[in-house]
Copies of this chain bind each other. A is one copy, B any other.
Amino acid sequence: MSTVGNPANIFWHENPVGKAEREKLLNQQGCVVWITGLSGSGKSTLACSLGRELQSRGKLSYVLDGDNLRHGLNKNLGFSPESRTENIRRTGEVAKLFADAGLICIASLISPYRKDRDACRALLPDKKFIEVFMNMPLQLCEGRDPKGLYKLAREGKIKGFTGIDDPYEPPLNCEIEIQLKDGVIPTPNEMTEQVVSYMEDRGFLEA
């Protein structure tokens, strides 16, 4: 016997206005810029700077921040492996909706596991998922420790902290890698320029 929950009873409603129409209105192409890396690696800094630069060019972007989502959509999730995976899954699904709406969605999450990031990539059409890897040494991130979390992790007051007692799996085929240049951290402007150039070259900043 079927129930309301039977997938056969859940219909698909085509959106009345197509993605292409929204993109034309915005003169840009909807996509996801997924920024991954250790705590303290500069994800929020890049997200912030990139958002500002896009706005100054008249482009509509929106930052999905992992911490912020845990205050809302994902507030009923903890930090078990299953919860972390669900946290990333939901974020990926929302990022997909934003890209479909025509926005440049900037997702900023540690997202330590490769399979979780790849699952998000698989939600997006070809080339619309731009993975940005903040490839900064752990020592540097820990030295910055902007939230004081590494200290707590080293003291054993936080368990399962990425980079300390939980692994970070670097991307194998990311679109953009932000790294030290001659041992120096790039400035926010330099990082932003690297991402914006990538997007410009591939036509994301026009419809």
Chain A residues engaging chain B, CB cutoff 8 angstroms: 1-6, 9-13, 15-17, 21-22, 25-26, 44, 47-49, 51-52, 55, 58, 60-65, 67-68, 70-73, 76, 78-79, 86, 90, 93-94, 96-98, 100-103, 108, 123, 147, 149, 152, 156-161
Contact = CB atoms under 8 A, between A and B. Distances in A.
A2 B60 contact: no
A12 B49 contact: no
Nearest to A158: B4
A3 B160 CA distance: 8
Number of copies of chain A assembled together: 2
Contacts of A72: 93, 96-97, 123
Contacts of A79: 3-5
A161 B4 contact: yes
A12 B68 contact: yes
A166 to B, nearest CB: 9
A13 B73 contact: no
